[in-house]
A and B are shown apart, each in its own frame.
Chain A
Amino acid sequence: MLSNTGNFLLLLSILFTFFIIFQSFACLKKTNNMIFKSIYKISLLQSTTILICFFTLVGAFMVSDFSLINVYQNSHTLKPIFYKISGTWGNHEGSLLLWVIILTIFSFLFLITNKNHPKNYRINTLIIQNILILGFLFFILFNSNPFSSISPVPKEGLGLNPILQDPALAIHPPLLYVGFVGSSIYFSAAMASVITNYSGKSFAQSIKSWVIISWSFQTLGILVGSIWAYYELGWGGFWFWDPVENASLLPWFAMTALLHSLLVLEKRNILYFWSIILCLLTFTLSVTGTFLVRSGILNSVHTFANDPSRGIYILSFLSLMIFASVYILFAKYKPTNDQINSNSKETFILINNWFMMFYLITVLLGTLYPIFTDAISNNKISVGPPFYNSVITPVVIIFLFFMAVGPKVKWIKNEYLNFKDLLKIIAGAIAVNFIITYFFKSYSLISNLIIISSVFLIISTILDAFKKPKINFARIISHFSFGFLIFFIGLNHNFSIEKDFNLKLGETKKIDNYNFELKDLKLQQYDNYKAVIGKIQISDLSTNKKRTLNPEIRIYDNPQTLTYEASIKTNFFRDYYLTMSNIDRSDYYNIKFQEKPLMIWIWISVIMLSFGGFLSFIRNAKNN
């Protein structure tokens, strides 16, 4: 029943999409500047139908309708209702439906919120966006249909991967999707802009809010994924340069570059084609990321089943998208003679863009290189954190200095900065670094420079907040949070402690300044898993403070999986992070203990960073 309803709604959405494209072409032929009322109505109907379609699937998950193969494979009657619902988008087919929701809703919102812009530009955007929607709807219907039925109907489902039963991971995909699927709207708008010659300031204004909102969500999405990796994967790290993580970071670099180049386009009417390229690049990278993740050509901690036919479809779609956009861009490209003074704000923004492109290319190379070597020479290699850390870290130092100075420089004018002030701030930053190394611990030269440059950015951004008559709080919050983020990552990296040892029940072990005692082990039965819970007391010998951590070994029933749950005690100064794993044929348990300073501040910095984005969105909406 739900299978038929779902398929019917999918077909109806395809019909509406065709109708919108057809009506839009008809509308283009009319000379007046009015968009047909019917287009608004069908767009609304299209979004509503897709939403109902999605909720039909959510409903199927909630009532555990195992006649749908998708529900059967990804759910279980014993699963808590929250995870039943999040199971909807925790798999390939359901998540594609979420894709289409964002594509259609953004399409509709763009149509109704850009009434001040010319008809042809809006209609062309709508046509291109709907071609994208059509592509994905066909993909869902013929290749990845979440409404495929199974007969006879199984009595019980196969459960959701227990690693994915996590609140952070339940909200991670929707956040990330608003980010990178949202970038589709400025891909379409950029194509429409080139086709209709609608360039310059007005174009920048029409897409700015969309770039900011997708950037803010992308930032939050990456953060939530990172938090999940931190406490679920049990390695104690928060960023692994895993190919799938990189796939979410690549569009973020392009978005960040675009966000800044739009400022120049809006203010000075230059860098138009560059902004267009960034618009096209952002969504292209998003689809490339999806291709890499879903086709299974990359090995990663993320589990999406490998199905080559999916890969072929996304790759064909991606190729079409790329060649269509390159063709239009080449056909319409006109070289411009942009005059930029070397010491103006636009130069600094351009420098920001170069840095972003540098990071983007580095991460892209690192991610694709193993695929290339495997395809060309059958050589299986893997590019790990050492590559990224050694290439990216030194460049971050210079980047932070430019990021601090850029906002102080004026538009257009070739005016020299007040070097005395800058020197004072640098002296302050060096002093902060000196205090840290003198009183706590010394670290490598690169780390010294990272701390100095991040403190330099923090201080100069804070000073900006007091100086200017017209303060842009959104920018200040984002820049200063970014400074804090790098600062805390630097300290966390240098001050983390990690201990690895074996312990059996009742045993006490002294390591450095700590005493560890495994006081108790108990077995607890839960609805869908049972857990061996350890009680480990950590006594800090210098302060005499005792803390109890309770790591778990969980045994899930459906499917049978063993997971190790870290026990984490967080405060404003540090995280105590402990995992316990059993050792075969022995009564010893392997204990991994980490003390990670200022962990919570890394999360707070990223939340503030995206908060800056939301603030900027509100500010921009008010101005327009």
Chain B
Amino acid sequence: MQKIIKITIIFLLIFILGIFFLSLNKNLNYNTESLIGNKLGEIELVSFEDDSIFTNDDFKKNSFTLINFWASWCAPCRVEHPHLMELSKENNIKILGVNFKDKKNNALKFLKDLGNPYKYLTRDSNGKQSVNFGIYGIPESILIDDKLTIIKKFVGPLTKQDLNSIKEIINNL
């Protein structure tokens, strides 16, 4: 009898901890795997400087475009910024910055202090456009090719490894 109780307790504990583990993996932000390979929908982004609009056609010219969602108030954005600066030196890729729920002056100051890696800079003052891209928080980046297919999505700040993997993808073609 005692043995049965002991085994039951151990199984129960393993079950509970196992569920915790499962939920932990389940809640890893959200699953970006399903987005890969999909075509980007219609884009209409307002330029940061004036009211001109960038659409899908603007990005078909580039072999690769990295769409980066950032804001001056976002600490991890500062952390990833040097990587973006480095990436901007590459020829095969252009970076599109989407300035998320930010104040214009703060954003400009951020770029003045840390450098501007963006070929295109757009603003999304109320965050609605970013929601269409499936953005949950910032920073996030989406790598697309000239057919506007999503190749990779990065949740959170870009790391050195992310940078290398992007370089590998864009230089292999």
Q: Do A and B form a real pair? A: yes
* Chain A residues with a Cβ under 8 A of chain B: 69, 72-73, 150, 152, 154, 158, 291, 295-297, 306, 308, 311-312, 315, 318-319, 322-323, 326, 330, 335, 368, 371-372, 374-376, 558-559
CB of A541 to closest CB in B, whole Å: 45
A residues near B19, Cβ cutoff 8 Å = 368, 371-372, 375-376
Query: Which residues of chain B in 125-146 are interfacial with respect to chain A, using CB atoms and an 8 Å cutoff?
Result: none
Inter-chain CA distance A330–B3, complex, in Å, is 10
The secondary-structure label for the interface of chain B is helix
Inter-chain CA distance A368–B27, complex, in Å, is 15
Inter-chain CA distance A296–B114, complex, in Å, is 32
Which of B5-13, B44-52, B54-62, B161-169 forms contacts with chain A?
B5-13
Tell me whether B75 is interfacial, beta carbon within 8 Å.
yes
Q: Is the CB of A154 within 8 A of B23?
A: no
Tell me whether B173 is interfacial, beta carbon within 8 Å.
no
Checking B2, B10, B13, B16 against A368 with a beta-carbon cut-off of 8 angstroms, the contacting residue is: B16
Count: A-B pairs, CB below 8 Å: 59
CB of A194 to closest CB in B, whole Å: 15
Tell me whether B91 is interfacial, beta carbon within 8 Å.
no
Give the one of B16, B21, B28, B75 with max A CB within 10 A. Answer: B75
Known: A150-B79, A154-B78, A372-B19; 19 extra A-B contacts, CB below 8 A, are A69-B75, A73-B75, A154-B75, A158-B73, A158-B75, A296-B27, A297-B20, A297-B24, A306-B27, A306-B29, A308-B27, A308-B28, A308-B29, A322-B13, A326-B13, A335-B2, A368-B16, A371-B23, A375-B26
The secondary-structure label for the interface of chain A is helix
Checking B17, B22, B27, B79 against A319 with a beta-carbon cut-off of 8 angstroms, the contacting residue is: B17
Q: Is the CB of A318 within 8 A of B24?
A: no
19 A-B residue pairs with Cβ-Cβ distance under 8 Å, sorted by A, are A69-B75, A150-B78, A297-B20, A297-B23, A308-B27, A315-B20, A318-B17, A319-B17, A322-B13, A322-B17, A326-B10, A335-B2, A368-B16, A368-B19, A371-B19, A371-B20, A371-B23, A374-B23, A375-B22
Checking B9, B16, B27, B29 against A326 with a beta-carbon cut-off of 8 angstroms, the contacting residue is: B9
Closest to B28 in A: A308
Which 4 A-B residue pairings sit nearest by Cβ, starting from the closest?
A375-B22, A311-B24, A297-B23, A375-B23
CB of B125 to closest CB in A, whole Å: 12
CB of B73 to closest CB in A, whole Å: 6
Inter-chain CA distance A156–B26, complex, in Å, is 36
Closest to B26 in A: A375
Give the one of B9, B16, B79 with max A CB within 10 A. Answer: B16
Q: B18-42 vs A: 1/0 string, CB under 8 Å?
A: 0111111111110000000000000
Inter-chain CA distance A322–B9, complex, in Å, is 11
Tell me whether B86 is interfacial, beta carbon within 8 Å.
no
Q: Is the CB of B24 within 8 A of A308?
A: yes
Inter-chain CA distance A326–B26, complex, in Å, is 28
B residues near A559, Cβ cutoff 8 Å = 73
A residues near B29, Cβ cutoff 8 Å = 306, 308
Closest to A308 in B: B28
Closest to A364 in B: B16
Query: Which residues of chain B in 146-166 are interfacial with respect to chain A, using CB atoms and an 8 Å cutoff?
Result: none
A residues near B22, Cβ cutoff 8 Å = 375
B residues near A319, Cβ cutoff 8 Å = 17
Q: Is the CB of A323 within 8 A of B13?
A: yes
Inter-chain CA distance A295–B21, complex, in Å, is 10
B residues near A371, Cβ cutoff 8 Å = 19-20, 23
Inter-chain CA distance A27–B59, complex, in Å, is 71
CB of A112 to closest CB in B, whole Å: 35
Inter-chain CA distance A154–B77, complex, in Å, is 12
Inter-chain CA distance A206–B113, complex, in Å, is 60
Checking A150, A297, A315 against B75 with a beta-carbon cut-off of 8 angstroms, the contacting residue is: A150
Inter-chain CA distance A374–B24, complex, in Å, is 11
CB of A92 to closest CB in B, whole Å: 14
Checking B17, B75, B113 against A152 with a beta-carbon cut-off of 8 angstroms, the contacting residue is: B113
Checking B21, B27, B79, B114 against A315 with a beta-carbon cut-off of 8 angstroms, the contacting residue is: B21
A residues near B21, Cβ cutoff 8 Å = 315
A residues near B10, Cβ cutoff 8 Å = 326
Closest to A296 in B: B27
Inter-chain CA distance A71–B26, complex, in Å, is 31
A residues near B26, Cβ cutoff 8 Å = 374-375
B residues near A335, Cβ cutoff 8 Å = 2
